[in-house]
Amino acid sequence: MRQRIPMIVILIGALAAIAWSQRPDRKLHVILLPTAGDAILIQSPAGSFTLIDGGSDPTNLAVELGAYLPFWQRHLAAIVLTHAGERNLPGQLGVLRRYQTALALAPVVPNGEWRDLLRATATPVRQLQAGQQLDLGGARLRVLATHDGKDGGAVLLIEYRATRVLIHTGGSRGDPALAALAGQKIDLLIYPWQRPATTPALSNLHLRAVAFSAGFTAAEPALHSFHDRKQLAPNLYHPKLDGAIHFISDGRQTTITTRPP
């Protein structure tokens, strides 16, 4: 037994060091995960986690979440499902099997396992709709628009002091919401690759960076190349090129790091 004590002490020390390194840093983290479909993880300044959509590969999403959530973390502040399609829903189902969540939001609550898993844990489910605001723990999530039709999607704005992150996950229904922000500074726009990149709603925003997502699918292929889109912002990112795209802000200064695939 005495021989095991040093090993136990070392193990406890290693776990304590890991826990210390993963403590909340009072910064906003928005991470576009490199999954098939869309999956966006938000860590609030207070340290809580919110997941938007989930991609189509539950196993891959579990690996990606494990890279950012503390190893003991099995609770999410909220999950947001902007579209219950095959490119978003399967990943969330995998998350709901592994994690508990305090709140779930969707434009239309899908029948089947998503509803059943939330009902089994008595998780409150709310309809995602324009005008809603959600306290993320120091940051605020505002719902600017939703679309519950075939294409689904939503326009969401995350605000933390002077920092703004705009998330667009759907079709043209969200364009008026973008137009309402004309002239305003957006530190990061997460925008579907297959949506048109030259709309007035985009050109009237002061974008510092754009990260393209792949969860939205259109009937026609994307019309603009990566080079064509350079007029949008000084910095452009895509998960297929950059891997995980990690936006960090203390409310004033922002940085973006990438983890190549």
pLDDT at site 2 = 57
Residues of the chain with pLDDT under 70: 1-23, 148-151, 171-173, 217-221
pLDDT at residue 16, as a whole number: 43
Backbone angles phi, psi at 238, to 5 degrees: -150, 135
79-127 confidence digits (pLDDT tens): 999 988 888 899 999 999 999 999 999 998 888 999 999 999 999 999 9
Residue 32: exposure state from Cβ atoms within 10 A (0-12, 13-18, ≥19): buried
Domain boundaries defined on the chain: 25-259
Give, in order, the Cα–Cα distances in Å from 213 to each of 115, 117, 143, 190, 225. 26, 27, 19, 7, 14
Longest dimension (CA), the chain: 72
List the structure tokens of 261.
């695939």
pLDDT score recorded for residue 261:
78
Q: Minimal CA–CA distance to 201: which of 193, 211, 191, 209? A: 191
pLDDT of residue 194: 86
**pLDDT on residue 158:** 98
In the block, tokens 């304590």 appear at 16
Distance between first and last Cα of the chain: 45
Side chain identity at 5, as an amino acid letter? I
How far, CA to CA in Å, does 260 sit from each of 36, 189, 220, 228?
15, 20, 28, 23
CATH homologous superfamily of 25-259 equals: Ribonuclease Z/Hydroxyacylglutathione hydrolase-like (3.60.15.10)
